[in-house]
Every structure is written in C-alpha cells, then in structure tokens.
Structure 1
Amino acid sequence: MATISALRGARAGSTLRDMETLGLFSLAVARVLTLFALAVLGAPLARAAEAASALDAGLEQQVRQLALQGTRHAVAGVTHVDIDVGRLDPRLRLAPCQRVEPYLPPGTRLWGRSRIGLRCTQGPSAWNVFVPITVKVYGPALVATAPLSAGSVVAEADVIQAEVDLAEDAAVALTDTKLAVGRTLARAINPGQSLRQSHLKLRQWFAAGDTVKVLASGPGFSVAGEGLALTPGMEGQLARVRTESGRVLTGTAVGERRLEMSL
C-alpha cells in the first residue's frame, strides 16, 4: 500500500510539474504573439493616427491663406513666402464639427515656427486647438562664401548676396555689406549660411566718462544736448548719461558717442 501511495504521489507531482511547464510555455507563446501583433499592426495604427491628425485639404488651404495674408508686409525685399502646415496632436479627441474657423491668436508672429488657431463654431461641442505652421520668408541677404571662424574680421570677399529664408532665424539677416565688412564675428559661420546681426560682436560706442551727444525725441519734436556717460555704451544696448543740469537719462547707444531716447 505504501508503494502504491508513493507512486500516486510521484505521478501527481509529475503532473503538477507538467502543468506548470505547460503554463510557462503558454505564457511565453502569448508574449511572442503579442510582440508579433504589435510589430505587424503597430505601423499601420501609427500611420492611421498620423493621418487622422492631418487637416483636410480645404481647411489646410484656409490656414495657409490666413498665414500668407499676415506676412504680406513682413519686411521689404521679400521675393516669396512658403507656408508649411503641420499636424494636430494625434492624442486629441475632437468632437465632430460642421464648421471650423481658422484664426490668428493674439500676439502671434508669423515668422519661422508659429501657429494658427482652429475653433469649432458649429457643432455639438465647441473646441479650440492650435495647428503648428512654419513660415518661410525668402529674400536677398548676405551669406558666407567660405567657413568663417569666431573672432575673425569679415572681409568683403567673405560674403555674397543670395536668396535665403529670412525667417529661419529670429535675428535680423544683414543685406548691406557696409554693415558687415570690418566687423568681428561672435561665432563661426558655415559656407552658404546667412549672416545675422547676432553673429557680430557688439561694438562699444563710448565708455563711461565720455562726453556723449544725446538726442531726445517725441511726437512732433526732438531735443539735442550733451551729457557725461555713466555706463559704457554698447551697440543697441541701454546706457545712462548725466546732463549738465544733473539729470540722469537712459537711452540706447546708436553710434560713436551718440545716445538716443524717446520721451
């Protein structure tokens, strides 16, 4: 009897081990099938989500036209403007809408990377979202003819005029060689790269203690005088001067020992 019981116990233990092995095998198979399904279906699902986030052709054209209207008088010398309309966030779940109205958000600058608002004006649920756009404004500007290292002085042969995307950088693109030649570069520039105001080192127009000409202007008037510089006058930066009467004025350093201020 003891022998029979032992055999039964051994068989039961073996059966349990077989069941555990089968369970682990089934789990492994399920994991493999899951990974296979993700690999096969993941790309189509991602493409479907991406397609759903794209605007329909009519709405995309409205967005493009609105952006073009806002860039008509961006800067002088523009040859043409291109608008790249991006996609909505694929995570958005927007209610159906019969009428979607594009609009320009307050304070938005249509220059480089920007955005256009979209709002539902006719539908079961009102919503408001933003679609990213890239505004490319092309016009003539100076570009480097060769690699220019930081600290080098720009020579006339170092730059040439070409058509560039003026909105590619927030800094102003230089168009006149007189504003570039003789200036020291603050950072390196690659061949074909447009020369920007931010690429040039600031000039010091006057030092503290210098006598400075001050031009104060307002609506319909201007007053000129002199003062003693209390701070260095770096190009385009604020500086302070003291007038003969002892009044301290703050203005912008605009030239050799010249300061301008608005009243």
Structure 2
Amino acid sequence: MRTQLLVALFLIIQTFASLAQENTTADEIAAATTRFLETFAATQDEQGYKVTFKTGNIDSRLALASCSDELSVEFTGDPWKSEHPSIQVSCQGQRPWRMFVTTTVTIEGPAVVAARPLGRGERVTGSMLEMRPVTVNASRRGIITDATLAEGMTVRRPVNAGSVLTPDHLEAPDAVVRGDHVIITARNGTFSVRTRGKALANASVGEQVLVENLGSSRTLRANVVGPGHVEVPM
C-alpha cells in the first residue's frame, strides 16, 4: 500500500511539473519584449535617434499556453507619436494567444523648430527654420524631421520661436489665386487641348476650383495640377 501511495504521489508531482513546463512564463514574455525594443532602439540609432525604454510589470503568476513558434512582438500604437505605446505579444502556434505589455519609450533626435515667431499666412523659407534635439515622440501630432519638407509651405497658425513644427502647423500654398489667369488643359487619354481661363477662387495643388473659360465664357470645375495650371476631363 505504501508503495502504491508513493507511486501515485510521484505521478502527481510529475504531472504538475509537466504542466508547469508547458506554460509560457512572465519572464519569457518580458525577455521577448525587451529583445524587440532593443532591436527597435538599434535600428533607430542607425538613423541618428537615441531610444531609451522601460517595460511595465508583468504578473509573475501569469501562465499562458506554451508556444510552439517564436513569440511574435509588435507595437499596437505608434511609438513616434506616444511615449507610452502598447506592445502586443502573441503566439501563433497550435494554441494561439495574445497579451499586451505596457512600455515607456523615449525617442530623442533632431527635429525642425521655428527659428523665429512664424505668423499665419507666411511662406516658409530656410532662414525661418533650424534643427534642434528634442523628444521626438512627445507630440501626438508628429514632427517634421526634414527642413526641405517645410520650405515653401504656408503657416496655417502662429508658431512661437523655438517650437517644434508639426504637420498641422503648415499647409500647401495656393497654386492659383482668385482672379489669376490660368492655363486650362482638357485631356482625354493622350490627346489634350489647351485654352486660357481665369480662376474664380483660391486653391492648392490637388484641389478643385471653379474657372472661367475666357474663350467661351463657360464656368468649369477643374483640378489644380500646378501653379497656374488646371485640368478638366474631355
């Protein structure tokens, strides 16, 4: 009888040990998350950005099914627009699962800032801009990292000197202005006809605008394709 009890106890212990080995532990999830963030940091370092990070606590009692495949790790939020992007860790194996890990990620690097106060409606030139190191992902609106992308744009709303420029600070300038004479191109495939017209409103490239055909006095809705140039389908 005693031998049978010992055998039964041994089998119970072995069963629990086996079950424990079949679980994906909190340490394994934390390690996968850290490797993912280290790779992200190394990639950004090559582009001139310094990334520091810290992962949130993972409950040590967590016991998820063992994964037959390598754990998949990805951002579920944009790390360039938030210092607290969530990370999803998932298993795509025979018993799939997923969970989320909180993180703190700081990206430091150069960004375009206003060298002086910028007024609404000003056309941006290179002398108005400068590059400074900032916490890139501190702004949810994104930033501009290439000054040439801002040059030639129009200031949409006032910007203080030293402020980081974001895309919503700027807008494309008007390519045609109300009263301007424009070239109207009527196009059908490779065949096109040009005539002169007059813009009846302001519009930038990609927008539609009403124009008057100076030859026929007809009013047309045209697409702005460049400064002083609009296009209508034939």
TM-score (norm 1): 0.47
The structure that is helix-richer by fraction is 1
| Structure 2, unaligned runs of 5 or more | 1-25
What amino acid sits opposite 1:195 in the alignment?
Answer: L
2:88 corresponding residue in structure 1? 117
Q: State which of 17, 23, 31 in structure 2 corresponds to 1:58.
A: 31
What amino acid sits opposite 2:151 in the alignment?
Answer: L
Q: What SS does the aligned partner of 1:64 have?
A: helix
Distance in 1 between residues matched to 2:193 and 2:34, nearest whole Å = 52
Q: State which of 175, 185, 205 in structure 1 corresponds to 2:175.
A: 205
| Structure 1, unaligned runs of 5 or more | 1-52
Shift in Å, 1:233: 0.7
2:71 corresponding residue in structure 1? 101
Aligned CA RMSD, in angstroms, stands at 5.3
Q: Is the 8 A contact 1:145 1:157 kept in 2?
A: yes
Q: Larger radius of gyration, structure 1 or 2? A: 1
Distance in 2 between residues matched to 1:260 and 1:70, nearest whole Å = 44
2:14 corresponding residue in structure 1? none
Q: Is the 8 A contact 1:231 1:240 kept in 2?
A: yes
- Change in Cα spacing, 1:145 to 1:250, as seen in structure 2 (3 Å) is closer
- Change in Cα spacing, 1:83 to 1:117, as seen in structure 2 (3 Å) is farther
Q: Which has the higher contact order (CA 8 A, sep 6+)?
A: 2
Shift in Å, 1:71: 6.5
Q: What SS does the aligned partner of 1:112 have?
A: coil
Shift in Å, 1:98: 3.1
Aligned length: 192
Q: State which of 153, 162, 168 in structure 1 corresponds to 2:132.
A: 162
Are residues 1:179 and 2:151 paired? yes
What amino acid sits opposite 2:228 in the alignment?
Answer: R
Q: Is the 8 A contact 1:229 1:242 kept in 2?
A: yes
2:48 corresponding residue in structure 1? 79
Q: Is the 8 A contact 2:107 2:136 kept in 1?
A: yes
Distance in 2 between residues matched to 1:213 and 1:171, nearest whole Å = 36
TM-score (norm 2): 0.51
Shift in Å, 1:212: 3.4
What amino acid sits opposite 2:71 in the alignment?
Answer: E
- Change in Cα spacing, 1:209 to 1:159, as seen in structure 2 (3 Å) is closer
Shift in Å, 1:61: 2.2
Cα-to-partner distance string for 1:218-258 (whole Å, 9 max, x where unaligned): xxx89795665464214x56223569798744356x5x324
Distance in 2 between residues matched to 1:65 and 1:216, nearest whole Å = 55
Q: State which of 98, 102, 121 in structure 2 corresponds to 1:128.
A: 98
